[in-house]
A = this chain, B = another copy of it.
Amino acid sequence: MNMSEYVIGIDIGGTKLATVVADKNAKILNKIRRPTESNKGPEFAIQTLFEMIYETIEDVNIKKQDISGIGVSCGGPLDTKTGIVYSPPNLPGWDAYPLKNRLENEFNIQSVIENDANASALAEYRFGGGKGYDIVLYMTMSTGIGGGIVINGEIYHGTNDSAGEVGHQILLPNGPLCGCGKRGCLEALCSGPSIARRAKETVENYPESLILTLVNGDIDSIKSEHVFEAAKQEDEVALKLVDVTAYYMGWGIANLVNILNPDIVLLGTIAIAAGDLLLDPIRKTVSDLAMIRPAEVVRIMPAKLGESLGDMAAISLVI
């Protein structure tokens, strides 16, 4: 008789905290969301999480001893062995914060802490677009470009949990400044804000672009969505901007394909929304720039889990 039929997943973001209870088949039974209020620091967040977990357990009417593990998806850097979080950019004050210990001391349940890109990669491997593939590279494509590598079912951590920083491969050392402090990282060229930045610069010279119409002429409110929306309506400026983005993404992915030789590369948020409009020129660039053998096997696809990714990321660590 297996008493521990449930797991808890925790998704810690810079703006939102979420806790879920799931059964061993990865079915989410309950979910609670609260704002992180990240300016209040880690102690506020941890107390909020404790409350949320007690509440979610009560909601589904189970006991603490029915829970076999707590999986936590959190911004890195962090140490998966000690469960200590080291000053993630989106969580001010989480400086060497012993997240795993705090959770285990409170609940006395084994907890697994993982950076969100890695946990997402595992979730895609187990429940999403990576199902059935041995080597899965997952790349977020939203405010930043993170990455997670799953090899034969295991997250590839590297030596100190820093592997998979695929968004910080440098393509243009004299290119735009990246959030990491370097220049011309893939992230500084293809993240949502980077696409928007390039669009703002471009429409200054092409005020007739539909992109500007979509924001009622307010250039400052251009987001990457507007670029893809205008491109779908065949705005030439937007199509060119999509091509530039796809070229840089394709170049970066070609390098990763040569190094990692994955079965599949799954691209998150922006690629899911943009679809083949973005993916097709990315695929073409990868096929142009990568070596023949790794290029001929790799699939480049949108990630599948969408809205549920954060929850699935957290629970995939303990199911």
Contacts and interface: CB of A to CB of B under 8 A. Distances in A.
Interface of A: 77, 86, 134-135, 147, 151, 156-166, 168-170, 173, 180, 182, 251, 254-256, 258-263, 289-291, 293-294, 297-298
A157 B255 CA distance: 16
A161 B135 CA distance: 12
A258 B291 contact: no
Given A159-B298, A169-B255, A255-B255, 15 more contacts: A77-B293, A135-B159, A151-B151, A157-B261, A158-B260, A159-B261, A159-B263, A165-B258, A165-B259, A165-B291, A165-B294, A168-B291, A173-B251, A180-B291, A259-B260
Nearest to A164: B259
Contacts of A259: 147, 163-166, 169, 256, 259-260
A255 B159 contact: no
B160 A289 contact: no
Nearest to A258: B165
A261 B294 contact: no
B262 A159 contact: yes
Nearest to A264: B159
Contact of A251 (B161, B170, B297): B170
9 tightest Cβ-Cβ pairs between the two chains A and B: A158-B261, A163-B261, A162-B294, A165-B258, A169-B255, A162-B293, A162-B261, A159-B263, A168-B258
Residue in A158, A166, A182, A261 whose Cβ sees the most chain B Cβ within 10 Å: A158
A177 to B, nearest CB: 14
A206 to B, nearest CB: 25
Contacts of A156: 151
Contacts of A77: 293
